[in-house]
Structure 1
Amino acid sequence: MSYLYLIIAFIISGQAANANPQIDVGEMYSYIESDKISVVKHVFNSGGGSDALVRVDVLEILFTVNGVPIEIPIKNPRQSLIATPNRFFVPVGDSRGIRLAFSGKRDHERYFRVRFKPLIPERSSNFKAAEDKYGVSEKAPTVSVNLLVGYGTVLFVRPTDTVFNTLINEDVQSYIIENQGNSVVIVDAFTDCPQGKRALCKPATKHHLLPGKDFKFGKLLGHEYRFTLIEGSSVKDVIVRG
């Protein structure tokens, strides 16, 4: 009998899990260009049978002297990055756009972790009231909520005077991309394939080269390397053969 109870409990818990909202934040990386002060991020509730309240948490990413990233809370959002609204309602099967605006100093590039955390009001809560309350509210919630899995993205804020200076050093054995500018450069959709055998390509990867950093790969005889080099609005497809 206890075994039967376990099966029933498992089925019920599975149904409850499927009823949770399933949010999708789209691209994991966003960028505020040098001539912009904000960017709009869209959050989708793709299903699961449940509407969702979503909370936005913003942390700034700094680097130690050894280059190790650390995330710290923002003390003064009005001089940094702010999410508007920082709590919002997303009906099931729908989406909501939020604005990420930066108002601090831009003498150098800044980096932020933006986390979207879905919340579910407990059954005793009135969800319609929650929608009215959190649609545009910037205040902390007063309804009792359950915290689900969060989704973290990264936002790059380019400096006001952005300079791209990407150097390429290539020899018979290696290929090096150096970022000597003051803003992030992207090596997108990088693939390593035996020539003429696209089915044997390694999975595509994406690399962000921060100022002063480089990306290097060895060139194997008979291999072909493809990637897209992105410097702000400049996009260039590159093919390198070993």
Structure 2
Amino acid sequence: MSAAFALPEIGIGSMYDTLTPDKQSISKRIYNTGTSTAFVRIDLLEVNIDKSGKVKEAPVKEIAGNSLQKDRLIVTPLRMIIPPGGFQAARFMWPGDRSVEKYYRVRFVPVLPKTDDGFGLNNKEVDEYRKKALNAGLNVLSGYGTLVIVLPTKPVFNTQIESSSPAGIKVTNKGTATIVLENIRNCTSSGTGCNSATRLFILPGKTKVVDKQKGRSTLFTLIEGENQKKLRF
């Protein structure tokens, strides 16, 4: 790779974000830890999950003109130019009905800019950047996505945990909002020697089983909205 042009490298922090009932909008910082400018396109997809648990993601059309569509997630801006070592904030807004929970995938994708693609570069600037990037062997950049959960206005949290079975810990969500099992790990009785931590999302009406290991403790943090509880079994 050319020493004169290094890759932009973006980071988005947490891989999921939650719009709690008291908030109509939240912001998320997107960082560029690389040594060249990052041109980032933001893609928005609605996530639909049927009764069998099958997930479908469908692109959400950009809002035309000044029209306001209330029953959808609004993300701004849809294009970012992030300097090396800098960051820019994206804002997620939900102005519509919140009687039921909604899910969206927001992807942050570094791209090679083109003329008239929303980045505001002229032909000369586009040609210079693309030439440097392609000479350095830059064709595909890694993007990242976050899951945005829009909680209902009055979420009900009713989590039931059955830990008596040696096969695993059964966690059932009988509420109306998604719960999260964060930092799931199996550890020795002293709390050391833990395996790699994982995370589970449990949608309303769904059940997940957390594995047990003989002679070891299972630890995780139960997150219900803004409330967190550390559990050990």
Unaligned runs of 5+ in 1: 1-13, 135-141
**Compared with structure 1, are the counterparts of its residues 197 and 111 closer, same or farther at alpha carbon in structure 2 (3 Å cutoff)?**
closer
**Compared with structure 1, are the counterparts of its residues 92 and 64 closer, same or farther at alpha carbon in structure 2 (3 Å cutoff)?**
same
Q: Quick check: 1:50 aligned with 2:66? A: no
Q: Given the alignment, which residue of 14, 20, 27 partners 1:33?
A: 20
Residues 1-242 of structure 1: pairs in structure 2 closer than 5 A: 14-15=1-2, 19-47=6-34, 49-75=35-61, 77=63, 78-79=69-70, 80-121=72-113, 133=120, 148-173=141-166, 174-196=168-190, 198-199=192-193, 201-240=194-233
Identical aligned residues as a percent: 37
**Compared with structure 1, are the counterparts of its residues 219 and 148 closer, same or farther at alpha carbon in structure 2 (3 Å cutoff)?**
closer
- Partners of 2:10 and 2:84 in 1: how far apart? 9
Normalised to the residue count of structure 2, the TM-score between the two structures is: 0.81
- Partners of 2:159 and 2:51 in 1: how far apart? 23
Amino acid at match of 1:93: G
CA-CA distance at 1:16 after TM superposition: 6.9
Pairwise CA RMSD of aligned residues?
A: 2.5
Bigger mean CA offset, 143-152 vs 22-31:
143-152
**Compared with structure 1, are the counterparts of its residues 179 and 16 closer, same or farther at alpha carbon in structure 2 (3 Å cutoff)?**
farther
Bigger mean CA offset, 106-115 vs 144-153:
144-153
Paired residue total? 210
Equivalent residue number for residue 6 of structure 1: none
Normalised to the residue count of structure 1, the TM-score between the two structures is: 0.78
- Partners of 2:38 and 2:181 in 1: how far apart? 35
Higher share in helix: 1
Unaligned runs of 5+ in 2: 64-68, 131-138
What secondary structure, in the 3-state scheme, does the structure 1 residue paired with 2:195 have? Answer: coil
Larger relative CO (CA 8 A, sep 6+): 1 or 2? Answer: 2
CA-CA distance at 1:182 after TM superposition: 0.8
- Partners of 2:5 and 2:50 in 1: how far apart? 41
- Partners of 1:18 and 1:225 in 2: how far apart? 47
Between structure 1 and structure 2, the one with the greater Rg is 1
